Amino acid sequence: MIKQQVLASLNSVLAKYLNNKGVHGDFNFTLEVPPKNIDADFAMNAAMLIAKKLKVNPKIIAEGLVEIILKEISDVIEKAEIAGNGFINLYVKDEVIYKTLKKILVEKNKYGSMPKKNKKKKVLLEFVSANPTGPLHVGHGRGAAIGDSLARILKYLGYDVTKEYYLNDAGNQMFILAESTKIRYKQMTNVKIDFPEDLYQGRYIVDIAKRLFSEGKDINEVDFKYETIKDILKTIKDDLKNFAVEFDSWIFESKLAFVEDKNGRTKVDEVCENLFVKNEAYIEGEALWLSSSKFGDTKDRVLRRSNGKYTYLASDVAYHKNKFERGFTKLINLWGADHHGYVARIKACVQMLGFNDEALSIILYQLVSLTRNGQSVIMSTRNGEFITLKEVVDEVGKDACRFFFLLRDPNSSLEFDLELAKKHSNENPVFYVQYVNARCNSIIRESKNREDIISDVETINFALLSTREERNLIKKLSAFCDTLAISEKTMSPHHFTTYLIELADVYHKFYEKCRVLTDDRKLTSARLKLIESVMIIIKNGLNLLGVSVPDKM
């Protein structure tokens, strides 16, 4: 918020300066937080950028800028200095800093948020979308955490977000799945039969068969595919719920793509014909091919096989068309990085359907590498040994698990050591952050014994918060808004874990140095307001990550 205000003021000054010089064009200058050895609040790089354009010495530009800054916006900037290399170091007026604090206290859980006015930003965020062939594993958990947090952040910023889970229930994997349950069922009826290796081995299949068997239905009357998917889906939904992830919309491939209308035509028929007519698809060797190489794919892809059956890609094209038809203007797909080979072709499809390439963003997250006592654990839903999301959540808790998943850039691989995650100790950074809230609460509880506390925000003298630690803390609180901005820009929530850890660090330093409850009534009141703000921001930040905030630990 401080940064935004300074930036706005500087923009107006800069526009005036450039206008006087007769220079046109955009200068995307930035305000940086300077390194520790420099005392200033912000550093601006505008002089270098302008100097480059005008081909003059940056120092001359900087001198001119400093002069006009001090003249025009002295209500915001206390001091401006030129650094040797052309940076302008800015010192923000105390009033601006304190105003932020007031804003946080007044706006509370809306601080930094935008009203839901961006109707044009109707976002469809599709994530997890794991095939219903087994419970979610740890890798899906990362996708769930990232997607859900991203949705929370975008909503906070005023986007109209729909979270969607797409179920591939139409492929021949489903046949194998149904067969797996059926054979398990048969084994229970004392029929001697081996369980083939290429079927799903997991225990959950046995459990489903058990349920069906206990219901006593005749084997020929049971719809194994339907029953198996039903149970697995329930498991998936339960696991997600325990992970604080809820979807707004569930889309079944079978229903979306393969249901016939009154003329006996499906959506896949429609979209393939459409592409053929548009000359984006052609027939060769009796198969229907998509000309995806025209739009950057490495080769063309089959939509309909020579045997007349559609590929997975075909129904996916229908699905993406459907997304746009439902009025979404921005599609975000969150995929595991092992699907990267699929990006080019689906992007090609979007363009062939007549939509802007930018309308679809595909975020890839690197898979979780799971280790146990240093030994890597192979994760496969087909294998006997795999670690489910539920197992990890049950062991380390929802909060630690989510925080852990959100700790890294999606594009960087995440090492998840089960033994380490199981440890319920302070090695986990989530405790470091939550501890801030616990400490704050403790002080608040203690302060309830006093009757001389000033609670009205307007009568508080914030100028008493004058130590370096206090000023740093307020500035860090204000950086909540910057974190929102960068998260939006990069479409990643991981900046918030980093931010909260940094905020916690600054808070603990403040805590050591500045005692809150003292004999000084006015100072105590001001500091109590400061920690109230800290609690608001910690809570807001953790909410965006889907992590809860205990008052006591």
**Residues 302 to 321 in contact with RNA, rule: CB under 7 A:** 302, 305-307, 309, 311-313
* Cα–Cα dist 355/430, whole Å: 42
Closest separation in Å from C-beta 216 to RNA:
33
Stretch that binds RNA, among 62-70, 107-115, 135-143, 283-291 (CB under 7 A): 283-291
Query: Residue 149: which of 121, 130, 119, 125 has the closest Cα?
Result: 125
Binding mask 153-182 for RNA (x = CB under 7 A): ---------------x-xxxx---------
> 389 vs 523, which CB is nearer to RNA?
523
- Interface residue with RNA, options 2, 18, 45, 183 (CB under 7 A): 45
Stretch that binds RNA, among 154-162, 184-192, 440-448, 456-464 (CB under 7 A): 440-448
Strand partners, 360: 331
Binding mask 203-242 for RNA (x = CB under 7 A): ----------------------------------------
**What is the DSSP secondary structure assignment for residue 199, as one 8-state letter?**
S
Closest separation in Å from C-beta 299 to RNA:
7
Which of positions 246-275 make contact with RNA (CB under 7 A)? Answer: 253
> 376 vs 461, which CB is nearer to RNA?
376
* C-alpha pair distances (Å), 66 with each of 24, 35, 75, 195: 20, 20, 14, 79
b vs e for 513-533, b when ≥16 Cβ sit within 10 Å of the residue's Cβ?
ebebeeeeeebbbbbbbbbbb
Closest separation in Å from C-beta 20 to RNA:
22
Q: Is 57 in the site for RNA (CB under 7 A)?
A: no
Closest separation in Å from C-beta 475 to RNA:
11
Binding mask 411-430 for RNA (x = CB under 7 A): xxxxx----------xx-x-
Stretch that binds RNA, among 63-71, 135-143, 484-492, 537-545 (CB under 7 A): 484-492
Q: Is 39 in the site for RNA (CB under 7 A)?
A: no
* Cα–Cα dist 399/387, whole Å: 18
> 109 vs 411, which CB is nearer to RNA?
411
What is the Rg, in whole angstroms, of the alpha carbon atoms belonging to the chain? Answer: 29
Query: Residue 406: which of 494, 470, 307, 481 has the closest Cα?
Result: 494
Closest separation in Å from C-beta 525 to RNA:
12
Instruction: Give Cβ neighbours of residue 237 (< 8 Å, ≥ 6 apart).
Output: none
Instruction: Give Cβ neighbours of residue 80 (< 8 Å, ≥ 6 apart).
Output: 65, 66, 69, 70, 88, 89, 90, 91
Q: Is 540 in the site for RNA (CB under 7 A)?
A: no
Closest separation in Å from C-beta 203 to RNA:
22
* Cα–Cα dist 201/193, whole Å: 15
> 185 vs 510, which CB is nearer to RNA?
510
Query: Residue 440: which of 532, 503, 335, 361 has the closest Cα?
Result: 532
Closest separation in Å from C-beta 310 to RNA:
7
Quote the tokens at residue 76.
Answer: 């915001």
Quote the tokens at residue 139.
Answer: 């890798």
Which of positions 365-394 make contact with RNA (CB under 7 A)? Answer: 366-367
Closest separation in Å from C-beta 369 to RNA:
7
Closest separation in Å from C-beta 49 to RNA:
6
* Cα–Cα dist 70/78, whole Å: 8
Stretch that binds RNA, among 65-73, 260-268, 452-460, 486-494 (CB under 7 A): 486-494
Which of positions 504-533 make contact with RNA (CB under 7 A)? Answer: 504-505, 508-509, 511-512, 514-518
Query: Residue 232: which of 251, 209, 255 has the closest Cα?
Result: 209
* Cα–Cα dist 48/115, whole Å: 36
Closest separation in Å from C-beta 456 to RNA:
21
Query: Residue 50: which of 76, 83, 25, 20 has the closest Cα?
Result: 25
**What is the DSSP secondary structure assignment for residue 282, as one 8-state letter?**
E
Single-letter code of the amino acid located at 329: T
Q: Is 443 in the site for RNA (CB under 7 A)?
A: yes
